[in-house]
Structure 1
């Protein structure tokens, strides 16, 4: 992460950093567990490039880093389906305008990790993260959560709050399990509702995943897919299984980009989460028990406040 962090400099295009990070992962024997994402300023999470198609409408002029930008970099690596998920937040060019917010995200992550013991209710983990954020003058984002990791499963069912959700919240029952692997992902914002939502113009995503639609496998087994469709379906299933992937990763099979609409009829997209107000966000995440001390944020969507 430190090497990639050093590439986030003023004047550089977002795509350059995304491409460099994904090449680095492959060069060192891993594979991306999901497309590398970069989210800047009031965009909280989950933007990745579809470089052959260009930036989505509304982002063209925003995709070069400027001094003072608050940048969230989210990187996942897997080896044979075993996943590590890490993120950090950095201010382009330093300057200290966002130092307190970045540190608050890191410290919220660390406070949550300290609570990660078998039997500790998830709401206590979230309360520890929220207390740090609020003590520093920031608001936790409540509808972006941490999650459990399992082989070939980036979001394995258990969600981990970064706020005091209360002991009766049905979405956060249970506690950490011995041997469990979890991504701790506190986000904070300088104000607003503490919630994120999809907002135009970037209200769709080019991050996709196979959702388990058995019709593809049946069509493949019966030879009913046209050659290009069959090749694409096999390519996706063999390389990515149930993990998220980007449209651009499939371009080597095609003379020109395929239709996102046609692809999404068979796959599930992650979406870009864009928020209701206008402040900026920072977040931090780590994956115990192999705790990686990084700051930043996560998931497969993008968030604007």
Structure 2
């Protein structure tokens, strides 16, 4: 999986020899002056230039570990946005700047883990955006993304790698679909595909998603509406911002767009029972104390706070703007504060050990269990779900015939500014 960096290949040996001979001949022919301006017999020795080391180049598809490019452990800072209005003073505040300058080692390492995951995300998703095409199977797409993530992170498990199962959600499926073993779904012309990718380093998850479309160009407005709504959420987010009010601004942006298909106009609706969320170590939805960023105006008076790490994600639909669970489940996660209950199935005990060792509370899917060599585990998995030790997250669908879109970035509310850690040149 890990390719070596390309070797340095400078001037061929024979060419060096020819050049040396030519240089010697020129030196013999040209008279040399001594300190008094007279011709001297001593010949100056010509210094050979050391060959320059070539910088490593990332492979295509990306497989060379990120540590080869950032040897000092410092990873690129994301897009910096200033806080608005009452928080604009933070960017020049000596107190807040001092706080950031004097971060303890653990806090600084957290920043670097987040940024490393974000850089991996950018490389993997940019390759995916260039290569995903109709005719590819969803399994092929998911496995390519996940292989790149594991290779760049040089990890597969609790130390780093895949942060959650790759979401590949087509048309009216908005979220939580990843192909199980044996799935034969193939991407078609006319599809609208949401690609939701998670990368983690030491439990710090980068969560970012985008939408690709091969449908009628009229659906481009759906994608524009959702991306604009996500950017509104990012722009308006900040310390002390009330989540219910932020949802209203997201809603206003999304509902300003419409889609015309076959002479019929469809308003773009925010999917009201989906939301953005805080992310805490090894917990994609922030655990029991997590905060949610609604996509519509609500009465929620909860405030964003300094140090919060949010996934700002928005979903839009040409349907009813409300999703329901349906279909074969692929996404699961162990519950952080699950009750300590006796398990009557030996297979369930064994499977729980596998989950604890490889995923902890990170989401996983059935393909990941297959990859670890687990087999005939469905009964045990369902038993863990029934005992409320593991949560199941079935696919989420709007009404049949509708199209849905998703865009998402992760942001860090730093003491002085917002850092959109997952921002890249693509979106």
TM-score (normalizing by structure 2): 0.59
- For residues 5 and 247 of structure 1, do their structure 2 counterparts lie closer, same or farther at Cα, with a shift above 3 Å needed? same
Post-superposition shift, 1:214?
4.3
Q: 1: CA distance between counterparts of 2:295 and 2:239?
A: 18
Instruction: Please say if 1:72 is aligned against 2:202.
Output: no
Q: Does 1:15 align with 2:142?
A: no
* Aligned counterparts of 1:112 and 1:127: Cα–Cα separation in 2: 10
Alignment equivalent of 2:370, drawn from 223, 227, 251: 251
Structure 1 residues not aligned, in runs of 5+: 295-305
Q: Cα offset for 1:236?
A: 0.9
The yes-or-no answer on 1:164 pairing with 2:283 is no
Distance in structure 2 (CA, Å) of the matches to 1:187 and 1:66: 21
Alignment of 1:70-219 (within 5 A): 70-92=192-214, 96-137=217-258, 138-156=268-286, 157-165=290-298, 169=299, 172-190=300-318, 192-199=319-326, 202=327, 204-211=328-335, 212-215=337-340
Tell me the residue number matched to 1:5. 129
Q: Partners of 2:375 and 2:309 in 1: how far apart?
A: 39
Question: 1:227-271: CA deviations, max 9, x gaps?
Answer: x55443222112211111112212245463422434534421012
RMSD over aligned Cα, in angstroms? Answer: 2.3
- Conservation of the 8 A alpha-carbon contact between 2:177 and 2:394: no
Shift in CA distance, 264/248, structure 1 to aligned 2, threshold 3 Å: farther
The verdict on how the C-alpha distance between 1:67 and 1:253 changes in structure 2, with shifts beyond 3 A counting, is closer
Distance in structure 1 (CA, Å) of the matches to 2:294 and 2:348: 40
Is 1:275 aligned to 2:392, yes or no?
Answer: no
- Partner Cα distance (1:77, 1:263) in 2: 25
Rounded Cα–Cα distance in structure 1 between residues aligned with 2:376 and 2:191: 31
CA distance in 2, matches of 1:122, 1:148: 12
Max Rg structure: 2
> Hey, what's the Cα distance between the residues in 2 that align with 1:43 and 1:135?
23
Distance 1:253 1:72 in 2: 27
Residues 188-236 of structure 1: CA distance to partner in whole angstroms, max 9, x if unpaired?
A: 112x32111124xx1x4121111243436x77xxxx974x554432221
Secondary structure in 2 matching 1:98? helix
Compute the displacement of 1:21 (Å).
Answer: 0.8
Find the counterpart in structure 1 of residue 180 from structure 2: 50
Q: Could you tell me how far 1:95 is from its partner in structure 2? A: 6.6
Please tell me whether the aligned partners of residues 348 and 383 of structure 2 are also in contact (alpha carbons under 8 angstroms).
no
Aligned length: 271
**Distance apart, 1:127 and its partner CA:** 1.5
- Report the TM-score, using the length of structure 1 for normalisation: 0.81
